[in-house]
Structure formats: structure tokens, C-alpha cells
Amino acid sequence: MFATINIKKMGTWSVLKRRLEHNNRVNGALKNDDPRLMHLNEYGSMDSYENINNLYESINKERVSNGVRLMRKDTVPAVELVLGASKDFFNGKSEDFIQDWKKVQLDWARDYYKERGEIMDIAFHRSERTPHLHITFAPVTKDPKGNRTFSKYKFQGGLKEMRAMRSSHAKANTIFSLERGQDYFKTGETQPNYTDDINEFRRQTAKAKKIKKKQISDIRKLKVQVSGLLDLKIKALNFFNPSKIRSMVQNFNWEASGWGAKREEIDNHLDTKKTVLEIIRANESINTNNKIPPPKEANTNLGDIPKPKPDKL
């Protein structure tokens, strides 16, 4: 089994606040928390946020009094260590054993970073699948002139320091028979390169997003077209609907327009679901151009309209 350790920077004050709220379960249990084990969790306090902020302000005042410029506004306010072990390590372990493990982790962290940070918050989560310890540091150290400052880089260091930190942590956990993870640089083995796979995944994801966006746009266009076709169909059905035409016939002033002789014949044809257009086209004597005469207002002089021949009806 292996000892695990991760380091996370909290780049802004808002990130720090959210992280402390998460660690101390300010908003209640999470989805991956086992409600039966919540009582075993150990929390710090949201006062840690104010304590870190007060420490930051006090150091800035010291720097001003020493004639040194203030820390940059984008200074990292806190760094977090997450310490744990392989997921089966805690299975069947007694409470005393677990508390001993926790004490070893705290003692190691406090001693290893004593010149580079101050512990501001501690949270021990045992309600999740793998118990782990959160230790939040204010990365307080001294600059080359001996003035106190916040420095995430000096706290974390580069690649060499990260390897040394992991080795030191694993050494502290040998009493629990926990091992260090693979050190590819020490053994000379080739470290797996996941960068190409990650980049390919990102490219495929971006491509899929573009395709999805285009498909959504096409669907919206089709919806507009279908909606337009449905409106057109509804209008056409309404126009050629016999009941609607019958209403138009009843409301039209036939006598005034000179079409009174055709009223009864149109009513008879409507009963057999024929349209006015079919009736007019069947009667060539009404209009030689096959066009429906537009309705006119009352008293319009349309001239003499020849009567239809019986054999044409």
C-alpha cells in the first residue's frame, strides 16, 4: 500500500473561502459522504479565513514600516496539503490506530514546512470512501532581506523539491508499512506521457462541441421551416374549408353584386364538399379567363352576366 500526498494552491481569496467551506462542510454533507460516518469527521473553523486575512494584513503593515513594498495583489493566500493512503489501508483499523496515523501526518507537515508556512486549518474526513487529512497553510516565509512575506513558490518549490517532499512523507509513513509511489527519475524509467492523450481528448471534445452546436442550429432552422409550413397548411385548409366558404357565401351580398342566380347552385355544390373555385371553373360562360371575379361593394355595375347553360352544371 502507498502513502499519498497532494498539494493544491488556493490562488485567490474567494477560492480559499470556498475550499474552507468545503473542508468544514459549512453547507452540509456532500454526495460522496456516508451519513453514517459523518460524526467521525473532524473539522476546523471558518475563522481560519479571517485568521489568514489578518496575518496577510499584519505582514503588509510590517513591510510598510520597514520601507518595503506591499505584497502583490495576486499573492497566493494559502496552500493545502491532502494526505491519505491506499483506499483499503484504513479497513478494519482501530480508532487508536487511525488517530496515530493522523498525528504522524500532522507532525511531519508541521516539521517539514516549519520555515515556509504556518498551519491555519485542519480537517479530517472519514465519511468518504478513503479517509484523508486536509492541512491548510499560510505560505509565510522571509524574502532575501529578511522581511516576512507570502510565497507559494518557496513553499512548494520546483520539481526537485516536490520529489524530495514525497520521499520525506513516505519515509515518515514507513512505521505503517506504507510505500512511496513510483519515482521515475530515481529509477531511470521512462515516465508515462499523458500529455498527447490529454491534448487529443481536448481536440475531440472541442470538435464534438462544434458538431453539437451546428446540429442545434440546424434543428432550430428546421423548426422554423416546419412551423412556417404548418402555418401555410392551416391557412390553406381554412381557405378551402367548406364550412368557412359557406359562411362567406351567407355573408356575401349576392343580389347587389349580380351573382344572385348562382347562390342556390353554390349552396348545393358545397353540400357535396366542392369548392367555389371548382364551380367557377366548370362554368366557362361566367369568365372566359378562368379567374374568380373579385367581390365588389353594393351597387357596383358589373354589366349583364350571361346565364349558365343547364348541360354545363
Could you identify the residue written with the cell 473542508? 23
Confidence band, pLDDT 50/70/90 cuts, at residue 236? low
pLDDT, tens digit, 9 for 90 and up, residues 30-51:
888 999 999 999 999 999 999 9
Q: What is the per-residue pLDDT across 97-113, written as a single tens digit (0 to 9) for each?
A: 999 999 999 999 999 99
Q: Look up residue 38 and give its DSSP letter.
A: G
Place of cell 490529454: 198
- Using a 10 angstrom Cβ sphere, with 0-12 exposed, 13-18 middle and 19 or more buried, the burial of residue 157 is middle
Residue type at 234 in one-letter notation: I
- β-bridge partners, 166: none
Residue range 162-213, pLDDT digits in tens: 989 999 999 999 999 998 876 655 555 666 667 778 888 889 999 999 999 9
Contacts of 177 (CB under 8 A, 6+ apart): 1
Q: Which class would CATH give 3-192?
A: alpha beta
DSSP 40: G
What is residue 298's predicted lDDT score, i.e. its pLDDT?
46
Q: pLDDT tens, 130-162?
A: 899 999 999 999 998 899 999 999 999 888 899
Residue ranges per structural domain of the chain: 3-192, 199-239, 242-312
Q: What is the pTM of this model?
A: 0.60
State which H helix or E strand residue 5 sits in: strand 3-10
Reported confidence tier of residue 226, pLDDT bands at 50, 70, 90: confident
